[in-house]
Amino acid sequence: MVETIESKIEALKKDRNAVILAHNYQLGEVQDIADIVGDSLELARAAASTDADVIVFCGVLFMAETAAMLSPEKTVLLPAANAGCPMADMITADQLREMKQEHPNADVVCYVNSSAEVKAESDYCCTSSNATEVVAGIDKKKEIIFVPDKNLGGYTAQQTNRKMILWEGYCHVHTCIRDGDIVKAKQQHPNATVMVHCECSSLVREIADAVLSTSGMLKLAKEFDADEFIVGTEVGMLHRLRKENPDKKFYPATEAAVCPNMKLTTVENVLWALEGMEHKITVPNDVRVLAMKALEAMRA
């Protein structure tokens, strides 16, 4: 019997007492070998709740860092060592400290798509699905600094009717989705419901039927009485949408919405990570303690 890569991964997973996590934007074949597929924080929390000793995080660096912070007693591996997030890299802890000095009375809300050091300088962390709830819960007398995504920040400000100081960061994948792409897709699929991610530009959000996180998209696709959807997010999301809703049709808003960093992880990378127990992601304890306060404030 020929041993496949998948069978080798299964055997190593048992030997290491490991769990494999894959983000919704990963390659379809990577999603298919994962134990849990989801968004970044959902995955980190799921890993923390398992009895696994090893977490293999098929995603990008900030996601693995979050898992390491939530599960400091576990070994966290990032199969593709160079898988980073350009948006997370658009702000540093030093830049945030400077911004805080300019606005000393402001509370800082950071998107989970940020480094551990930036989280450590923040008062609250948020996801795309709960940003509105987090911001709405902050004292209306307080100024709010929102980092790093100006599009999610702008959408949240609009939803909460709060004025916020926005960092000029953005997701290069979601900003490549243009309003013209949505118009063209609607012409090709006139009966389709348009759902786009909160990280998209205001022009795209304005002409969409629904503005959602990836988890919100999964929920809408499953529950809404529609057979066709135009999806305005990273194209990897379509694999899971189609898999979970085989009787429905999903079209990308544009085929250009590809995150190269999310596509760095391959099935082979996962095998090599388990074989060599690499690449280990750790967060210094002093950073972890402060960053955890922002993560815990999100759930307060």
Q: Name the superfamily (CATH) of residues 88-171.
A: NadA-like (3.40.50.10800)
- As a whole number of angstroms, the distance between CA 211 and CA 100 comes to 30
Q: What is the pLDDT of residues 226-255, one digit of tens each?
A: 999 999 999 999 999 999 999 999 999 999
- As a whole number of angstroms, the distance between CA 156 and CA 220 comes to 20
Average pLDDT over residues 49-53: 91
Average pLDDT of every residue of the chain: 96
- As a whole number of angstroms, the distance between CA 22 and CA 38 comes to 7
For 5-83+262-282, CATH number out of 3.40.50.150, 3.40.50.300, 3.40.50.2300, 3.40.50.10800 equals 3.40.50.10800
Specify the CATH class of 177-252 in words.
Answer: alpha beta
Q: Domain spans of the chain?
A: 5-83+262-282, 88-171, 177-252
Distances 33 to 6, 13, 62, 234, 242 between C-alpha atoms, Å: 7, 11, 22, 20, 16
Is residue 96 over pLDDT 80? yes
Confidence of residue 265 (pLDDT cuts 50, 70, 90): very high
- As a whole number of angstroms, the distance between CA 122 and CA 130 comes to 16
pLDDT for the residue 41: 74
Q: Looking at the chain, how many residues does it have?
A: 300
Residue 233 has phi, psi (to 5 degrees) of -160, -175
Confidence of residue 194 (pLDDT cuts 50, 70, 90): very high
Please state the pTM of the whole predicted model: 0.94
pLDDT for the residue 47: 79
pLDDT for the residue 1: 56
Three-class DSSP category at 249 = strand
Average pLDDT over residues 25-52: 90
Task: Name the least confident of 90-94, 262-266, 293-297.
Answer: 293-297
Average pLDDT over residues 80-101: 98
Confidence of residue 224 (pLDDT cuts 50, 70, 90): very high
Cβ-contact 134, 298 below 8 angstroms: yes
pLDDT for the residue 300: 54
Average pLDDT over residues 84-113: 97
Residue 136 tokens, joined: 């709405």
- In SS3 terms, 23-86 reads as ECCCCHHHHHHCCEEECHHHHHHHHHHCCCCEEEEECCHHHHHHHHHHCCCCEEECCCCCCCCC
Confidence of residue 3 (pLDDT cuts 50, 70, 90): confident
Is residue 137 over pLDDT 70? yes
Expressed in angstroms, the distance from the first to the final Cα of the chain is 53
> What is residue 149's DSSP assignment?
B
Average pLDDT over residues 15-44: 93
Confidence of residue 293 (pLDDT cuts 50, 70, 90): very high
Segments of the chain assigned E as strands: 18-23, 36-38, 54-58, 75-77, 106-111, 124-126, 143-147, 165-166, 193-197, 210-212, 228-232, 249-252
- As a whole number of angstroms, the distance between CA 273 and CA 271 comes to 5
Q: Is the dihedral of CA 279, 298, 131, 168 positive or negative?
A: negative
Spacing of C-alpha 247 from chain mean position: 27
Percent with pLDDT over 70 in the chain:
99
Is residue 225 over pLDDT 90? yes
